[in-house]
Amino acid sequence: MSTYEQIATEVLKGKKKLVAASTQAMLDAGEAPLDIINKGLVVGMSRVGVLFQENKMFIPEVLMSAKAMQEGLSIVKPLLAEEKMESNGTVLIATVQGDLHDIGKNLVGIMLESNGFTVIDAGKDVSPEVLVAKVRELKPDVMGLSAMLTTTMLHMKDTIDLLTEEGLRDKVKVIIGGAPVSYDFATEIVADGFSPDALSAVGLCKRLLA
């Protein structure tokens, strides 16, 4: 019979078909859907995050693991109607206006989801006006902004300034990240935090919402 440890290892290795088969086998054996998520799929993805942070795994491998985890989730999620999966909070993520890079943002989204957060992905090249409208409408706990260019990171400041103008700044925590972004820049634009990588973003969100 499949085990939670087996599922975690298969996620780590990015084995989509094996994760699907093991997930189904554990459901057939009567294991609870939430346990399969929390003790198998999430454990595997958490290990991926640690290895990624230690530069022992790289983005293509992380994406393979993420796809494997999603394969398992797609089998389990429809069965969660009766079981309340508690969210750690809602995070709106986006790449700022003028910037079309989204691999980093997507990784952050995957890591947040695998750690129990509800993620709303607004996409890439998103204007401050659209982001502020989404904060007003969706009321996320945290907004994560990504930029990969020095020219576009200034739109992070524009977004925070517009939140302030619209009286929404105290309604949402704003965290930022991306290659040219730094802790000093986050302090300068009065963001609530800076994250150098996807796993750090998870820890930052947990601390901000504790």
Model confidence over 153-188: pLDDT tens digits?
999 999 999 999 999 999 999 999 999 999 999 999
CATH code that applies to domain 4-81:
1.10.1240.10
Task: Outline where 13-79 has alpha helix (H).
Answer: 16-28, 33-36, 42-53, 59-76
pTM over 0.85: no
- Give the C-alpha separation, 162 to 100, whole Å: 22
Distance of CA 176 to the CA centre of its chain: 13
Q: What is the pLDDT of residues 100-149, one digit of tens each?
A: 998 889 889 988 987 889 999 999 999 999 999 999 999 999 999 999 99
Closest among 88, 11, 94 to 57, alpha carbons compared: 11
CATH code that applies to domain 90-209:
3.40.50.280
Residue pair 114/70 in contact by the 8 Å Cβ criterion: no
In the chain, CATH 1.10.1240.10 sits at: 4-81
Residue 50 sits at φ, ψ, to 5 deg, of -65, -45
In the chain, CATH 3.40.50.280 sits at: 90-209
- Angle between helices 4-12 and 42-53 in degrees, nearest 10: 40
Residue pair 208/91 in contact by the 8 Å Cβ criterion: no
- Give the C-alpha separation, 76 to 23, whole Å: 8
Q: What is the pLDDT of residues 70-91, one digit of tens each?
A: 899 889 988 875 555 678 999 9
Q: What are residue 118's DSSP bridge partners?
A: 90
Closest among 153, 141, 151, 143 to 189, alpha carbons compared: 153
The two three-digit tokens of residue 70, written as one number? 């999603």
pLDDT of 1 > 80? The answer is no
- Give the C-alpha separation, 98 to 114, whole Å: 29
Task: Outline where 54-197 has alpha helix (H).
Answer: 59-76, 103-114, 128-138, 154-165, 183-188
Residue pair 36/23 in contact by the 8 Å Cβ criterion: yes
Residue pair 20/71 in contact by the 8 Å Cβ criterion: yes
Residue pair 53/197 in contact by the 8 Å Cβ criterion: yes
